[in-house]
A and B are shown apart, each in its own frame.
Chain A
Amino acid sequence: MTSIDVLIADAGGVVITPSGRLTVVTAPQLRTVVAEQIALGHRLIVVDLSSTEFVDSSGLGALVSCLKSARQAGGDLRIVAPTEQVAMVLKMTNLDRILQPRASVADALRD
């Protein structure tokens, strides 16, 4: 993964954009970033997947454990605009039954 961008949204909530590959190697970074944001008091975590080219099951696992952390802090985690490969993996594992992607960041920030 090249980078994880973090942007604090005006409406409250934080937008996290992992770009490149979200795999077993890079998943811990995502978990750390999300944990930091929750510790800073952010409750609505939006993960923008529009520049994530590839995700493996460990990457999905990281999304789930971030969702768990957000919920346990009384907040929520939403995913946005997955690329084709990512959408396919979400569908194959049925994870889209639980984490249904939102079309846009603005949409995800709405309560």
Chain B
Amino acid sequence: MTMNATRRDLRLLEHKTSPRRLAVIRIVIVLAAASGLNYVVWRWLASVNWDSWWIAVPLVLAETYSLIDSLLFGLGAWRIRERGEPPAPPAAGYTVDVFITTYNEPVELVLRTARAAIDISYPHTTWILDDGDRDEVRAAAKELGIGFITRSADWIDRPRHAKAGNLNNALLATEGEFVLVLDADQVPDALILDRTLGYFKDPTVALVQTPQWFENVPDSDPLGSQAPLFYGPIQQSKDGWNAAFFCGSNAILRREALMQLGISRYVEEVEQSVYRAITTSRRLLARAREEAAGDRRVTLALRRAAEIVETARTEILRGDGISDVTYRFQRGIDAISTEYADSDIALMRDNLRELAALSNDPDTFASIDDAALELLSNRDTSPIAAIEAISLLANALNVDRGDEAQAIMPMATISVTEDMATSMRLHGLGWRSVYHGEILASGLAPEDLETMLGQRLRWAQGTMQVFFRENPLLQRRLSIGQRLMYFGTMWSYLSGFPALVYVSAPVLCLAFGVIPVTAYSLDFFARFLPFLVLNQLLFWVVAAGRPTWRGAQYSLALFPVWIEAVTSAFRNVFLGQPLGFRVTSKTRIEDGRRRWDLVKPQLYVMGALVVALVVVSIRILAGQAEGIAPYVNIVWVFYDLAVFSIIIRAVLYRGPVATTKEIS
């Protein structure tokens, strides 16, 4: 099964960024890091205005946040890996499945991708994975002669897990050695497999990710759809640490790696749930025994149940197969609960019959049906109910994962963005990933503000779910570098909170004269300016000509989205509340209204910044604003306004001139 690799292939597999470029980058990283530390340490030790601590401390915390962000960026870039030509594709004979995932996208859009997928030159099988189970799509797939997959009957009344579930279902229904995943709108290049399969000549490579690029976006990119920095230096930096991650589409995965991941997750989850079941059972039994004091028969039953639980515990600790242990556990508990529930109900029925015989009303007995008897025997506090509860536990927490449609779930289901979590787990198993930075598919980005905001929110929520559920810093099987690379992405989504500080601090200073920094002096400039300049230089060197301003604007201007993502993911993971997430619509809603209502917080911020400028002008004229502080803050306000101006452009944006008309 291992592919043959020529000497040239091996050389290309090893290809790294040139030593000269790497040296330049590293020098700038060291300088930027040193100047950043110099500035922020000085800020903490010598320039926090403790009199106004309520804004001074948030400001210095926000600056510390930005420093850590910059250090993580630098750490990644330290090993940036810009791959060039890919190794040659393997000779024919390897099987590839191309999956086009769809839920509710327009049929014509799905078929446009399907037709391009059929034309991919390397031999493959194309499948449409239609989670909407639409007859139209089924008929069209048949006509095109490609596969059509919908959820199997196992998924009825079980969690569907959105796209991850769709892919997991299809993985069990197909058999290609490699899987190319495409979102419904991502039209592949015919060479997409020829340009990527060669990387699998390294038998430890599980994933090759390529960029997501959008064709319906003008050069000015008012909605910030293209992510040139992410699908460039950021993924390349992660690649250098073997942490380039899966982004859900335009990626090729090795089936064996995914299935192995599915198996090992299954084992881990079953082990955990069995431990939990045993611990909970012991607690339940202990409580029931207290309550049953006096009732000899019930105490006896509980003692028998306790023996079974203890036996299971010993067997698990001894290392017996969990399947056998749970089997015996279940059978033992079932036997007790059947026996006791039966005799209890029989006893109760006798009592009731006697009661009925004594009564003059002929309806008394008839009104007490078996359902009521069941209720009587299931009172919460009864010891019998405790045994029942254990038997329920034994059934629920079984080796069959009866609560899920499939025991094996290769794609992670802990997050609405299954991709990142899945690749983190693959890395944990020791697999490698590759980021190949060549555009090999072109997609459609959201064309209106509302859809764009929904999409960004979903990505951020998904990332934060992974952070809260499987914090990369705590994953022992990842290397330190891998942990920090995953953590870096999560860290960047926390930027909403510092952004709030970055806009309020200058407003407070200008309008109310609240000064968070004690020394806006030569000292300040001597430390702050080098950090600012070197940081920009680092971005400039690493980005190598790619535009970065749009990304910088949106990372500040979408602060309400980032804050909502963090808080809603927190409530979801720790309090079990729903995320309120929706599938991204790929087409625009054409009612022509300007959606100022979607960006109210940003408009308030801009209003406050303008008012602050007016107020400070009056204060300067009245001679109330002294020193250099107001001038520093005026510059700062103008920067903030330049950043937030993108929000106005986004609201005014009417979509591309003429690209997707034929699609929608």
- Residues in A lying within 8 Å of B, measured CB to CB: 24-25, 28, 56-58, 60-61, 64-65, 67-68, 71-72, 76-78, 93-100
Contacts and interface: CB of A to CB of B under 8 A. Distances in A.
Interface string B264-289: 10111011000000000000000000
Given A98-B270, A98-B322, A68 B263 contact: no
A68 B270 contact: no
Contact of B323 (A25, A61, A94, A100): A100
Nearest to A90: B263
Contacts of A64: 263, 266, 407-408
Contacts of A60: 259, 263
Instruction: Give chain A's interface secondary structure class.
Output: helix
A100 B266 contact: no
A59 B258 CA distance: 13
Given A98-B270, A98-B399, A56 B256 contact: yes
Contacts of B323: 67, 76-78, 98-100
B324 A100 contact: yes
B327 A76 contact: yes
A5 to B, nearest CB: 23
B406 interface: yes
6 contacts: A61-B408, A65-B407, A65-B408, A71-B400, A76-B327, A98-B323
Given A24-B255, A56-B256, A58-B255, A97 B322 contact: yes
Contact of B321 (A25, A65, A97): A97
Contact of A24 (B175, B262, B401): B175
Instruction: Give chain B's interface secondary structure class.
Output: helix
A92 to B, nearest CB: 8
Nearest to A75: B327
Among all A-B residue pairs, the 8 with the closest Cβ atoms: A100-B321, A57-B259, A71-B400, A68-B400, A57-B260, A93-B263, A94-B267, A24-B175
A97 B263 contact: no
Nearest to B261: A57
A68 B267 contact: no
A30 B320 CA distance: 26
Given A67-B323, A76-B323, A76-B327, A97 B408 contact: no
Contacts of B268: 94
Interface in B308-328: 319-324, 327
Given A61-B408, A64-B263, A93-B263, A25 B399 contact: no
Given A64-B266, A76-B327, A98 B321 contact: yes
A86 to B, nearest CB: 13
Contact of B172 (A61, A71, A72): A61
B402 interface: yes
A65 B173 CA distance: 13
Contacts of A65: 172, 406-408
Given A68-B399, A71-B327, 13 more contacts: A58-B255, A58-B256, A65-B172, A65-B406, A67-B400, A68-B407, A77-B323, A78-B323, A93-B260, A93-B264, A95-B266, A98-B267, A98-B321
